Amino acid sequence: MARRTGAVTGPVAAGGVVVLILAALLAVMSRADWPVTLGTADWAVLRFTVWQAFLSAFFSVLFAIPVARALARRRFPGRGALVTLLGAPFILPVIVAVLGILAVFGRAGWVSEVLGMFGVAPLSIYGVQGVVLAHVFFNMPLATRLILQGWQAVPAEQFRLVGQLGLPPPMVFRIVEWPILRQVAPGAFALVFVICLTSFAVALTLGGGPRATTIELAIYQAFRFDFDLGRAAVLSLLQLVVAGGAAVIALWVLPPLALQAGRDRVRRRWDAPAPWVDAAWIGVAAAFLLLPLLAVTISGAIGLWQMPLSVLTAAWTSAWVAAVSTFVLLIMALPISAWLAQARWGGGETLTLLGLAASPLMIGTGWFILIYPFAAPVRFALPVTALVNAMMALPFAVRILLPPMRQVFNNYGRLSAGLGLRGISLWRVVLMPRLRPQIGFAAGLGAAMSVGDLGVVALFADPEVATLPLQMYRLMGSYRTEAASGAALVLVALAFGMFWICDAWGRRHVAG
Amino acid sequence: MKYLMFSAAVLCASAAWAETPVLKVYTYDSFVSDWGPGPAVEAAFEEVCACDLELIGAGDGAALLARIKLEGARSEADVVLGLDTNLVAAAKETGLFTTHAVEADYTLPVAWTDDTFAPYDWGYFAFVHNAQMDAPANFRELADSDLKIAIQDPRSSTPGLGLLMWVKAAYGDQAPEIWDGLSDNVLTVTKGWSESYGLFLDGEADMVLSYTTSPAYHLIAEQDATKAAAAFEEGHYMQVEVAGKLAATDQPDLADQFLSFMVSEAFQSIIPTTNWMYPAVTPAGGLPDGFDTLITPAKSLLKSPEEAAAARDEALTEWRDALAQ
């Protein structure tokens, strides 16, 4: 029997991810002073981390359900565009999104100003509520997408049937919708939970004080101020175990991430309530997700005039890093997906989730220690950044690629084998043309995530080649807040632009 | 063949470079940015040293020390510029730094005698606010008010740690009580100075922990006189920023030359309007116009590096306990 495609490259790529993380962890541990003891403050950090992730996941899903339901059963002009736009927060750079959220929900934000007109006290966003609000902002679109997909998997006939039978809405919910929700909602919950576990930048600004410290933030402090490598290593391990454990559970219950969700196939419903209920949910979601974007755009447009030219150089660097990172992402994700798609054992996917659970700062520091005896780590700043960014996007890419890959192997596997198609030619003739939309979508996601990342660059930073988020941060650090808003807008444009290019590349083929 | 020619060209180029000695200075990010003192300092020093000065940004002040510890004795750095007195004890403990021979008539409000680190600028920590607001005159008034302040995390930011030392230096054993009172005034604690200052400029916070010199930036660079620093009766804690020579440097003479240059007129006159701090030696021409409008604290507070190091853990615990409730 011919060797399967990806049977070697797949495990090698997945193994590479594991080695990359473990080598970094071991390097950090090798330089640590032992033993390390975790105090009560550290357990408080763990508790807060899990608690805020739980709340964030809970509210993201709770809010996503009625929105997905409304989107699933309504047809209106611009619906497709709205669904796409509602996905925007997920690829919005965190550093920018926090500015937008504050401009809308902060003490001096739009909502507080409106409340002030009626003599109501301004919103208090700082604290766990702010962290959760920001997380819902980022992840509710993802949850909506997953749930919407589930809804659309219900055959139209079912809704027609319950319509003919004239069942009351509660009954329809119990018979048709509840089973779907029970299938998709836990998966969406689990994914958002894992993403929020490793949150860093959000907790930093909106947390309100030391009680809102996440594990990732504690790792940062251990590295930066105390330079306590032992503590950093133990905390990183703790994060790997907690987030990794949650990720394993998530995978069990996770629906695949499909790309066409909500673009077509509106389920005609005979049982729908008055349209204003659905319109209200969609309106609230759109306002919640799009107003911060609008705020960033407005303040950015003003700041554009003050922006120094170096921002454009930095944008070029970021685009470059994102391109390399996307390339690395695909090199890892494609063989891994091909391997997993044909494997009987599905557990391999958990390996990719390590990328999400590992602290980027730990990986950065570990590789700094490893590279240092041989070469100047600064020279590896961009490759390391690109690699770490690719790893963080890997679980999403595999999630997107795996289901259609399975289908292609089911449909064309025997035929290709019969024709003797293997290796490169199998990719070129069979896989690539059929997976092009998913590859484009995964690449776009990876590119956007890479553009917005500030994490690991800070340690390796080379003053000559700053990435855009770093340059924006530097502007803020030199009192130039307005210019920084301009840079933020450029950052948003770059992230969306790169996503759009990749996604459009994938779609062009489908259209043609 | 082409490749060979390319390699040869690279070799020749590096040989030509090797004749010019290179001095590597690790510093914080905002020092090397286009708007910081870096570019002007580099040009001025290269004019007199016949060398190549490389200023390498390594994050903020605390990250700078972490980077040196990470690299250890094999570090390529010759000089580290940008630690403050609260980090000096930890820096000396590494044993990576050696003594300097810098002599200058410092215009610091306190005497400077450290033989490992030489100061290049300094400032007072202060809460900055909008000028039309009635600012509190001390920590107790601030605690009693319903003003919201943005401060920095002492576990990741040098001003954040400075505030801890400020409260400790002014109130000693009563520090926990002060923090208790302040806990409902603290809007949020940010990772670094930039985020807090951004919150203040966006109107989120009424006051922000910064420096008495911050209003000078707005006045001089933006012709905006609407920002002021609140003068506190307890006195203001100082931040003295210092530089030191690494023991393992391969350019000891050049490093000494740089440290002497650092306290000279050419370097010191760049500081006020790029780093927005007071120069360690006031230039002959005095301070730039606008600096005369700044508040002058009645009392300067500063713990010695040893005292600061000794007080740190306790102060940190008090701070965390008060704010974690």
Task: Write the residue in A107, A474, A481 that is nearest to B198 by C-beta.
Answer: A481
For the beta carbon of residue B167, count every other beta carbon within 10 angstroms.
24
Task: Write the residue in A206, A221, A372 that is nearest to B188 by C-beta.
Answer: A206
Nearest residue in B to A106, CA atom: B204
Of A61, A59, A58, A63, nearest to A280 by C-alpha is A63
Residue B11 confidence class, pLDDT cut points 50, 70, 90: very low
pTM for this structure?
0.85
- Give the tokens for residue B263: 């306290």
State the Rg of chain B over Cα: 21
Chain B residues near residue A210 by CB distance under 8 angstroms: 153, 189, 319-320, 323-324
Nearest residue in A to B205, CA atom: A107
Would you state the pLDDT for residue A266? 56
Mutation target among A478, A480, A482, A485 for the B interface, most CBs of B within 10 A:
A478
Residue B18 confidence class, pLDDT cut points 50, 70, 90: low
Q: What is the ipTM of this complex?
A: 0.83
Q: Kindly state the average pLDDT of the residues B18-42.
A: 88
Of A424, A423, A419, A352, nearest to A390 by C-alpha is A352
The contacts of residue B52 (CB under 8 Å, 6+ apart) are: B17, B20, B21, B22, B23, B46
Q: Tell me how close the Cα of B282 comes to any Cα of chain A, in angstroms.
A: 22
Secondary structure of chain B: what % helix, strand, coil (to 5)?
A: 45, 20, 35
Would you state the pLDDT for residue B78? 95
Nearest residue in A to B26, CA atom: A463
Would you state the pLDDT for residue B1? 43
Q: Tell me how close the Cα of A481 comes to any Cα of chain B, in angstroms.
A: 7
B74 in A contact zone (CB under 8 Å): yes
- Residues forming a β-bridge with B80: B26, B244
Would you state the pLDDT for residue A273? 64
- Alpha-carbon distance of A305 to A316, in angstroms, equals 19
Task: Write the residue in B30, B204, B325 that is nearest to A108 by C-beta.
Answer: B204
Q: Kindly state the average pLDDT of the residues B76-94.
A: 92
- Give the tokens for residue A475: 């502007």
- Alpha-carbon distance of B263 to B229, in angstroms, equals 27
B197 in A contact zone (CB under 8 Å): yes
Chain B residues near residue A458 by CB distance under 8 angstroms: 59, 63
Rounded to the nearest 5 degrees, what angle is found at the Cα of A396, between the Cα atoms of A391 and A397? 80
Would you state the pLDDT for residue A417? 77
**Inter-chain residue contact A478 with B32, CB threshold 8 Å:** no
Task: Write the residue in B59, B193, B320 that is nearest to A210 by C-beta.
Answer: B320
Task: Write the residue in A41, A126, A461 that is nearest to B187 by C-beta.
Answer: A126
- DSSP E strands in B191-301: the ranges are 207-211, 227-229, 236-246, 278-279, 300-301
pLDDT at residue B49 is higher than 80:
yes
Q: Are the C-beta atoms of residues A190 and A249 closer than 8 Å to each other?
A: yes
Q: Helices (DSSP H) in A173-228: which residue ranges?
A: 178-197, 201-206, 215-221
The contacts of residue B46 (CB under 8 Å, 6+ apart) are: B52, B53
Task: Write the residue in A206, A207, A474 that is nearest to B29 by C-beta.
Answer: A474
In chain A (512 residues long), the average pLDDT of successive 10-residue segments reads 66 86 89 79 88 94 91 81 81 85 90 88 86 92 83 74 78 80 81 83 76 86 83 89 80 60 52 75 90 91 86 90 93 88 71 79 86 80 84 86 82 78 76 84 90 68 74 83 89 92 79 43
Task: Report percent pLDDT > 90 for chain B.
Answer: 69
pLDDT-wise least confident of A324-328, A391-395, B96-100, B202-206: A391-395
Rounded to the nearest 5 degrees, what angle is found at the Cα of A90, between the Cα atoms of A300 and A147? 145
- DSSP E strands in chain B: the ranges are 22-27, 52-57, 79-84, 97-98, 117-130, 149-152, 186-190, 207-211, 227-229, 236-246, 278-279, 300-301
Residue B303 confidence class, pLDDT cut points 50, 70, 90: very high
Nearest residue in A to B318, CA atom: A210
Mutation target among A95, A200, A224 for the B interface, most CBs of B within 10 A:
A224
**Inter-chain residue contact A461 with B58, CB threshold 8 Å:** yes
pLDDT at residue B6 is higher than 60:
no
Residue B260 confidence class, pLDDT cut points 50, 70, 90: very high
- Residues forming a β-bridge with B209: B127
Nearest residue in B to A476, CA atom: B194
pLDDT at residue B79 is higher than 90:
yes
B89 in A contact zone (CB under 8 Å): no
Question: Which residues 270-289 of B are in CB contact (within 8 Å) with A?
Answer: 276
B17 in A contact zone (CB under 8 Å): no
Chain B residues near residue A308 by CB distance under 8 angstroms: 34
Angle between helices A94-105 and A468-477 in degrees, nearest 10: 50
Would you state the pLDDT for residue B287? 93
**Inter-chain residue contact A463 with B57, CB threshold 8 Å:** yes
Chain B residues near residue A205 by CB distance under 8 angstroms: 188, 190-191, 195, 199
The contacts of residue A292 (CB under 8 Å, 6+ apart) are: A89, A97, A100, A101, A103, A104, A105, A137
